[in-house]
Chain A
Amino acid sequence: MTLPSERHVLIIFPHPDDEAFSVAGIARLYHQMGVPVTYACLTLGEMGRNLGNPPFATRESLPEIRRKELIAACEAMAIPDLRMMGLRDKTIEFEDDEKMVQLVTALIEELNPSVIYSFYPHYAVHPDHEATARAVKEAVRRIDKEKRPRLLGCAFANNTLAELGEPHVVVDIKSVGHHKLRALQAHASQTGWMMAETAKRVDDGETPADSWLSIEKFYVVQQDDELGEPIQRVHY
């Protein structure tokens, strides 16, 4: 099946690099289809721990490094509209919940997306991911049922497969895998160690343990008033 076209795609994640792992391939595919894509990145990953030893950054210089990496990654993903929302890493869950919902609502009202990609509540591991997922889900819930954009969530908690089953939407991104690799590489301050490890495995004759460069997978986030409705599992 071919990926359906969209009116506008809105991606919302809290940290620079969340998007590269989750939606880099699909963002590039939308670009090739001429679909407008906006990425709202809530923080600059100011609390990232990878400073290197010997260190290449300090706690104070890291945000500027990550800002540049984010811009470079968006070029690799061909995301033309990057919004840096100015929140601070590791604090999103402590922000006023209504303010977070309003932040998402304002983006939805401005862009009128037909689909939103974010995290799936309760299966997104990091407190910032969960807070983002909650705000996005609530903002979508407040929209009339017939007018709601589809909400697709990334889930990677250890109990995801056991409790949610197989992903609802699986997208083959092999044709743009090299763009995704470039996006991941652009986030060198966070992904450098992982990319080196992956390259070593490939050198050793193994394929990368994860299928990051070949598929991207999502779950449909349903609101309470949609729970009875069947979810069709699709592969694109």
Chain B
Amino acid sequence: MKEVHIETLQELLNSFANKDVFIHLETTNGAYASHFDTKVFNAGAFIRNAKIRYELGKVIDDMPHRIGLKMEHGWVYAQGITHYELDEHGRLLMAGLDYTGKLAIALEISETPFSY
């Protein structure tokens, strides 16, 4: 994965628009967050292989980046994206890595289902 290049990532988001796509979206503090710091309220969310169709996808030029996908009846968005790649299977993988290299958020888009 490389650091986000806005124009390239925007083109990639456009290329998946108006298609049935599978998404992976997760955000987490890590399972040990409140073990190491009892003041942390540990919350996270994970969705994998949800099938959606978006009419508009947009990446915002703030660091770390926000990405929003507008659907016919709703929205998907992710905050904190720093890196991305189009992998060898043609899937758009986006990730937000914190300063220590830990994944804080992932948003991935694919025309075929992700592995289990």
Contact = CB atoms under 8 A, between A and B. Distances in A.
Interface string A79-95: 00000001010100000
B74 interface: no
Interface stretch (A53-61, A135-143, A199-207): A53-61
Interface in A74-129: 86, 88, 90, 125-128
Contacts of B85: 58
A189 B24 CA distance: 22
Interface residues of B, number: 30
- Range for the number of chain A residues in contact with chain B: 20 to 34
Nearest to A127: B31
B30 A51 contact: no
B91 A60 contact: yes
Nearest to A157: B35
A193 B35 contact: no
A130 B71 CA distance: 38
A138 to B, nearest CB: 22
A148 B97 CA distance: 46
B108 A60 contact: yes
Contacts of A125: 31-32, 35
Contacts, number: 68
B32 A58 contact: no
A53 B97 contact: yes
A47 B28 CA distance: 10
A58 B31 contact: no
Interface string B1-37: 1000000000000000000000010101011100100
Interface string B81-116: 011010100010101011111111010100000111
A178 interface: no
A71 B2 CA distance: 29
A51 B97 contact: yes
A158 interface: yes
B41 interface: no
B31 A90 contact: yes
A197 B18 CA distance: 48
A224 B87 CA distance: 52
Given A49-B28, A126-B32, A58 B95 contact: yes
Contact of B115 (A60, A127, A128): A60
B101 A50 contact: yes
B35 A58 contact: no
Nearest to B97: A53
Contact of B46 (A53, A63, A90, A193): A90
Contacts of B98: 53
17 contacts: A49-B103, A50-B101, A50-B102, A50-B103, A51-B1, A51-B101, A53-B99, A54-B83, A55-B1, A58-B85, A58-B87, A59-B26, A59-B103, A60-B108, A60-B114, A126-B31, A193-B101
Those 10 A-B pairs whose CB atoms lie nearest each other, nearest first: A53-B101, A49-B102, A52-B101, A53-B97, A126-B31, A49-B103, A55-B1, A59-B106, A58-B93, A125-B35
